[in-house]
Every structure is written in structure tokens, then in C-alpha cells.
Amino acid sequence: MSPSPTESHLSHSTSAIDAERWPVRVWPGLIILVAIAGLMVVPGLLLPLTMVHFISLFAAPILGALVAVMWWTFGARVRGRERWLFPVLLLVPAVILAVTLFRSTPMAIPVYALPMVTAVWVVAFALTPTVPRGIRRTVAAGAMIAAWILVGMTRFDGTTGDLVPVLAWRWQPTSEQRFEAESASRPKATPVVTGAVAVGPGDWPGFRGPARDGRLSGVRIDTNWAAHPPVLVWKYRVGPGWGSFAVVGDRLFTQEQRGDEEAVVCYAADTFAGVWDYRHPARFQEAMAGPGPRATPTIHDGKVYAQGATGKLVCLDATTGKLQWVADVTAEAQGVLPMWGYSASPLVIDGVVVVYAGGLDGKGTAAYHADTGKLAWVGGQAKHSYSSAHPASLDGVSQVLTVSDYGLEAFRPTDGKLLWEYVQLEKGLQRSTQPMVIGDKDVLFGTGVGNAQGLRRLKVTRSGEVWKAELGWTSKALKPYFNDGVVVKTHLYGFDDARFCCIDLATGKEAWKEGRYGHGQVLALVDQGVLVVQAEDGRVVLVEANPADHNELAAFPALTTKTWNHPVIAHGRLYVRNDQEAACYRLKME
């Protein structure tokens, strides 16, 4: 029996609708998304901030996007122009944005934007299985275009220490632009400062204090901040920079980025009014931390010694800022610019200025004559480091310790002779923290965050002119990244990745691991047994230096944005800064 006209019409209409439907094989795309997410997240949980983590974070979204293109082109049952439309919508905008709006931070596109747009593409098809072909195509393409527009409207302002992106709208001024605008209207009056700049009692003449160990003696503060909170003296925007402050008398020294110039700046400690600044053409910028110098100036014998992120080492008159000499470490010591810039703060010792160089063929460390800037010596096998040269006196002998991918090396300051070394190669893993000297024979040094070896204690001995460094213990309880620890009596307090912890110096065993301060820094008031912790989120927290328990005494929001810089206490004041702002607080002293 023949179908009725009505039945025939309905059958034809149903067939037409079915023909419009787009039977895309979506499930492989969903598997690809799960694989991308897993490769980006799981290594960070199991092996945080190791080379495995970094490689997976960068490689997973790129490879995932390419696999997604292969799936769509050859395995999604797609024909016609749509076969090429969506790969083009994924890859072409990524390249355009990377070389235009994101040219200063191009890796933000593959690491953060590409996986997002890939997910939008796949999910758009997964959620519309019964939608007619034309509408489905329009919805998916429109969603991808909208996602790329959103990316283009967003500015990438670096990451936290855990590699979480810090984002802002593109039309919002950057902190650097706000600093430039406010600097133009800031009062120009220069304070009157008389006499030479000479380091005296209570000063903080460079990176991590007088002994470069983050320890302060002879100072006790009132820890009852509920009753006597820190009093704000001043707070201002500063140019980008990740170094700290040096404080000598009534002067404050730091380094900043000023447009296309690096600047060494002297401020009045009481008011933050500018005394002088010295600038030279240089700008270093990378995706994680952004622009700016990474080191802290060193004040010695009336001079300021400072190294910029591109390797330029300058000596300035501390009173006037007048240039005394300049040295180019990359040229003179054949140094190689590190991925995150030169970060070493100069060490002045026995008439020379010692810095990390990273040169090949035994030119890992360089020393310059402090008075003339002439190259004094080069030595060592360091090829990758963000640690600063560290002073030590072991068995009564003055020496310079350097930590790098090669291990730990000790040099005689006067001529660079290698006294001893402890080789512990860590290719590809950055070492950023300072060694810690325990007594006159022992040294602690970190082997890189995420490394299974963690922290090592060495015993250094000598017989005549022969030195020997032997392993005492290895501890996995504290694996420092770029966050230095401090020693108080019989224990070490520091950061195991992003968790604050305490370990026993005698055994390396964990006493506690409780604090959640992100990737911060710490200063120890050793006589009082108090730790001043600069948290990554800007808070300053007082923690009792007590191996029995983690006990927070007080806290307050000193700064409001990501802070990796070391705190400073000098002359009854707390000085803090990050890449956007600086502040001074008066503390009640005991």
C-alpha cells in the first residue's frame, strides 16, 4: 500500500532534517581535553616546579592542540570547508596574538590561552549533538572567536610562584604606567643629606643584611600588633624590580625599571623622597615575573654596587650617585644571560666584587676590583644559577661560596683559587637560594625545588692546604625554590615549596610544616626568637621560632600584590617592597 501524501511529506522533512545534522565524532576530542588537563595538572601535584612540571606545562597544551587538529581533520568525520575552518580558528589567532599583543609574554598564549580555546571548540560540539549543522558550526566558530577576543582583551601580568596566571584587562594601566604617572606629579624636593654614606650599627647594607643570612641580632620588637600595630610611615608606587632594600643611615637604596632603562635609586628613608638615581639603557622582561632588575644593591666604603638583570655591574658614589665604573659581565666573563635574568646581588669582600657570571670554560663566577672595576679573576663551573655569592669563614679561612647547577664551590676571594667543591649536578633545575654556614665547618645548601635530594648538610675540613667536603645528611623535608631560610639556634626555618616549615639542624628531620605563606621570604630576630615572614600575598606575619610548634603571633597586610622580595628591618622600621609598591612601617621596639 502506498504512503499517503502527508506521510510522504513528513518522511521527506525528517530526512532533510537528518541530512542537516552533523554526526561529528566528539568523544576523541573530550579524551584529548582530559589528557591536556592531566598533563598540565598532575606533574605539578607530584613534582612541583621541577623540569618535568615545566616541560609538561608548556608541552601539554601545544601538543594537545596539534592532536586536536589531527582528530578534527582525519578522525572526526568532518568534510568540506569545516574540516579546515576550526583548525584555522585555533592556530592562526594564537600566532597573531603571540607576535602582537603578547609579544613581551608570548608563552602566555600556548600555556594559558591555547588550552582554553581548544576546550571551547570541543565542548561547543559536545553540547550541541542534535543541533542542525549550520547552527552548530556557527555556535562553535562564534564561541572560539569570542574566546580569542576575550584573550586579546586580557593582559598577562605574570604568574604566582605556583604558576597561576595574574590577569588584568588590557585597557587598565599597568603598574609601571601608574608608577610613571604618579612619579611625574610627586614632589621633586630633594632632602638635604650631609656627609659621606658610611655603614654603621643598625644598618642593613645589602642583600639579607650585614652577614647576608637574613638574621638580625640586638633587636626586639613588640609582637602584640593588636595593641601596637605597625604604623605606616609612607607607601608609594615603585618601578618594577624584585630586589630588596639596602638601608644605611637615613638613605634607602634599591633597583627599579624606568621604561627602557634600569635604575639604581637612592631615597630618603624617612619620606621616600628621591635623593638621586642612576640609569643606563637596559630592559629585561620575562613571562613569569615581568620586567625589572632582580638584585639588591650592596653598600660598601661609601660606594653602591649593583648588578642589573642583563648583567651590567655598576659602582656608584653612594652620596651623589655619580658613576665610578661599569662592567659588562656578559662580555667580559663570557656570561650567558639566564632565563630569568641575572639575579645575584654583588658581594664585596677583600677588595673585590664577586658576582655570578655563568660563563663557559671555567668562568662561572667573576670578581672585579672594587676600586677600578677591572676584572680580577674568573673561575668555577656554574652555568645556571640565581644565587648570590656568599661570604664564609671556614676553619678560620675567608672564602666565597657559590651555589649553581654544578653544586657548591668555594673560592679564595683575593685570587679566585678554588679551595674546595661539592659536585652535585642539577642540569635544568634552577638553584636560587643562599648557602647557610653553620659554625666554622658546616654548610647547608639546597638542591632545587622538587628535587628528591632536597637539602644537604656538608662538613668541610682541611688538612694543610687540602680541603674536603663530606655529606652529613640529606633532607627531603625542605626543598627550597627561590625562598631563603634562616637559622635560629638548633633549627632551620624556611619554605618547602610553598609551605613554611622547621627542620632539625642535627638530623635534617622535619619538626613541623604548617605555614601557608605562598612563595615568601623570612627574616629572623634571633635574640627574640621571632620570625618575620613576608608572605607572597603581601602580608607580613610574625611566627615564633619554636621547633615544638608553629605559632603565629601577629599579621597585617603590608602590601596588596604578589611579593617575592625580602623584608628589611632597620632602625626600628620595617621596609617592604614588590614590583609595584614600597612601604615603610614604624615598629614599637622593646
Tens digits of residue pLDDT in 126-169:
999 888 888 989 999 999 999 999 999 999 998 888 888 889 99
Predicted local distance difference test score (pLDDT) of residue 106 = 87
Q: Give the angle 125-127-129 at the CA atoms, nearest 5°.
A: 70
Residue 11 has pLDDT above 70, yes or no: no
Q: Are 368 and 375 in contact (CB under 8 A)?
A: yes
Confidence at residue 456, expressed as pLDDT on a 0 to 100 scale: 92
Residue 58 pLDDT greater than 70, yes or no: yes
pLDDT class of 7 with cuts at 50, 70, 90: very low
| pLDDT interval class at 8 (50, 70, 90) | very low
Each residue of 436-471: b (16+ CB within 10 Å) or e? bbbeeebbbbbbbbbbeebbbbbebebeeeebebee
- 274's CB contacts (< 8 A; 6+ apart) are 186, 188, 190, 265, 266, 267, 268
Interacting residues of 64 by C-beta distance below 8 A, sequence separation 6+: 32, 33, 35, 36, 39, 115, 118
User: For residue 35, what is the DSSP state?
Assistant: H
Grid cell, residue 558, equals: 603590608
Q: Note the pLDDT tens digit of each residue in 248-274.
A: 999 999 999 999 999 999 999 999 999
Q: What percent of the chain lies above the pLDDT cut of 70?
A: 93
* Confidence band, pLDDT 50/70/90 cuts, at residue 567: very high
Which residues lie closer than 8 Å to 195 by C-beta, 6 or more apart?
319
Whether residue 492 contacts residue 485, with contact meaning beta carbons closer than 8 Å, is answered with yes
Where exactly are the structural domains of the chain? 13-169, 175-586
Judge whether residue 22 has pLDDT over 90. no
Model confidence pLDDT, tens digit, residues 344-361: 999 999 999 999 999 988
Q: What is the 3-state secondary structure (H, E, C) of 3-25?
A: CCHHHHHHHHHHHHHHHHECCCC
Residues in a beta bridge with 326: 314
pLDDT: which is higher, 11 or 445 = 445
End-to-end CA distance of the chain: 106
**Is the torsion defined by CA of 508, 511, 513, 519 positive or negative?**
negative
Pick the range with the lowest mean pLDDT from 20-24, 133-137, 554-558. Answer: 20-24
Give how far Cα 258 sits from Cα of 172, 243, 266, 296, Å. Answer: 19, 15, 14, 16
How far apart CA 268 and CA 354 sit, in angstroms, is 28
Q: What is the mean pLDDT of the chain?
A: 90
Residue labelled with grid coordinates 592532536 = 67
* pLDDT category of residue 55 using cuts at 50, 70 and 90: confident
Q: Rg of the chain's alpha carbons, rounded to an integer?
A: 28
Res 1: pLDDT: 47
Q: What's the rounded Cα separation, in Å, for the pair 9 and 235?
A: 78
Percent of the chain topping pLDDT 90: 72
| Position 12 confidence tier, pLDDT thresholds 50, 70, 90 | very low
For residue 169, what are the β-bridge partners?
154
Q: Is the pLDDT of residue 540 over 90?
A: yes
Q: How confident is the model at residue 515 (pLDDT cuts 50, 70, 90)?
A: confident
571 Rama class: left (phi>0) / alpha (psi -120 to 50) / beta: left
Q: Please, are residues 471 and 458 in contact by the beta-carbon 8 Å criterion? A: yes
Q: Is the pLDDT of residue 465 over 70?
A: yes
69 vs 49, higher pLDDT? 69
Type and span of the H or E element at 62: helix 51-70
144-155 per-residue burial string, b: 16 or more CB within 10 A, e: under 16: beebbeebbebb
Q: Distance (Å, rounded) from C-alpha 423 to C-alpha 199?
A: 36
User: Can you read off the three cell numbers belonging to residue 485?
Assistant: 631560610
Least confident of 88-102, 449-463, 500-514: 449-463
The cell numbers describing 169, all together, are 584587562
The residue whose grid cell reads 500500500 is 1
In words, the CATH class of domain 175-586 is mainly beta
Query: What's the average model confidence in pLDDT over 455-469?
Result: 94
How far apart (Å, rounded) are the C-alpha atoms in residues 442 and 398?
14
Predicted confidence band at 14 (pLDDT cuts at 50, 70, 90)? very low
- Find out whether 213 and 434 touch, Cβ atoms under 8 Å: yes
* Residue 445 predicted with pLDDT over 60: yes
Residue 16: how many other CB atoms lie within 10 Å: 9
pLDDT above 60: residue 543? yes
Q: What is the pLDDT of residue 229?
A: 96
pLDDT of residue 392: 96
Closest of 269, 317, 176 to residue 584, by C-alpha: 269
Interatomic CA distance for residues 346 and 150, integer angstroms: 43
**C-alpha cell read off for 118:** 581548544
**Which pairing describes strands 521-525 and 215-216: parallel, antiparallel, or unpaired?**
parallel
- Residue 113 dihedral angles phi and psi, to the nearest 5°: -80, -45
DSSP string, 127-188: T-TTSBHHHHHHHHHHHHHHHHHHHHHEEEEEE-TT--EEEEETTSPPHHHHHHHHHHHS--
Distance of CA 476 to the CA centre of its chain: 22
**Residue 238 and residue 266: Cα distance in Å, rounded?**
12
Look at 46-60, 212-226, 312-326, 366-380 and tell me which has the smallest mean pLDDT: 46-60
How far apart CA 239 and CA 581 sit, in angstroms, is: 8
Distance, in Å, from the CA atom of 135 to the CA atom of 116, rounded to the nearest integer, reads 22
Q: Residue 17's pLDDT band (boundaries 50, 70, 90)? A: very low
Taking only the tens place, the pLDDT of each residue in 270-298 is 999 999 999 999 999 988 889 999 999 99
- pLDDT beyond 90 at 49: no
Beta-bridge mates of residue 555: 541
Q: How confident is the model at residue 453 (pLDDT cuts 50, 70, 90)?
A: low
Angle between helices 82-99 and 51-70 (to 10 degrees): 140
Helix, strand, or coil (residue 61): helix
The predicted structure's pLDDT at residue 498: 84
Distance of CA 357 to the CA centre of its chain: 19
Element (H, E) at 343: none
**Tell me, what's the pLDDT at 115?**
94
